[in-house]
């Protein structure tokens, strides 16, 4: 394996009450892989209907890995299972049924490794 670097992704989006709000990380670079060690999500303001966590590939296909139905407002939900993404893939978190102007947050940490 080649070089290894820390990776962090923090994002807050204000809901406009659209049915699904997707928050996506950047895509994994060519010649690298990303290991996500922890993802935490919350609807800070009011409870939404559902939160889903997965990854999206180069063809825009989504593979869902976890979900939380009827999450409570202001409660941090997290996944500690390792998620390994390869070149071109992105982390995606989908908030369904949020209200306007909910604050939707995603916090993820891990590392990237050069694999060429």
DSSP 8-state assignment for residue 94: E
Rounded percentage of the chain residues whose pLDDT exceeds 90: 86
> Given this model, what pLDDT does residue 116 score?
75
User: What does the block give as tokens for 44?
Assistant: 């800070």
Closest CA to 43 of 63, 22, 71, 78: 71
Give the pLDDT confidence of 85-112 residue by residue, as tens digits: 999 999 999 999 998 999 999 999 999 9
Query: Is 42 exposed, middle or buried, given 0-12, 13-18 or 19+ CB atoms closer than 10 A?
Result: buried
Determine the average pLDDT of the residues in 5-24: 94
> Given this model, what pLDDT does residue 2 score?
79
Sorting pLDDT into bands at 50, 70 and 90, what band is 18? confident
> Given this model, what pLDDT does residue 115 score?
92
Question: Strand, coil or helix: what is 62?
Answer: strand
> Given this model, what pLDDT does residue 113 score?
97
User: What does the block give as tokens for 19?
Assistant: 């049915």
Determine the average pLDDT of the residues in 37-64: 94
Q: Is the dihedral of CA 56, 58, 8, 37 positive or negative?
A: positive
Rounded percentage of the chain residues whose pLDDT exceeds 70: 99
Distance in angstroms (rounded) separating the CA atoms of residues 56 and 62: 4
Sorting pLDDT into bands at 50, 70 and 90, what band is 1? low
Q: What's the pTM value of the predicted model, to 2 decimals?
A: 0.92
Distance in angstroms (rounded) separating the CA atoms of residues 100 and 69: 19
What is the average pLDDT value for the chain, to the nearest integer? 94
């Amino acid at each position: 394996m080649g070089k290894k670097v820390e990776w962090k992704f923090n994002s807050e989006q204000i809901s406009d009450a659209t049915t699904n709000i997707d928050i996506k990380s950047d895509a994994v670079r060519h010649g690298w892989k990303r290991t996500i060690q922890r993802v935490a999500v919350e609807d800070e303001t009011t409870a939404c209907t559902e939160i889903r966590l997965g990854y999206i590939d180069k063809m825009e296909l989504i593979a869902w890995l976890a979900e939380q139905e009827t999450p409570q407002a202001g409660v941090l939900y997290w996944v500690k299972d390792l998620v390994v993404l390869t070149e071109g893939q992105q982390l995606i978190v989908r908030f369904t049924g949020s209200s306007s102007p909910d604050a939707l947050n995603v916090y993820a940490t891990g590392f990237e490794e050069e694999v060429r």
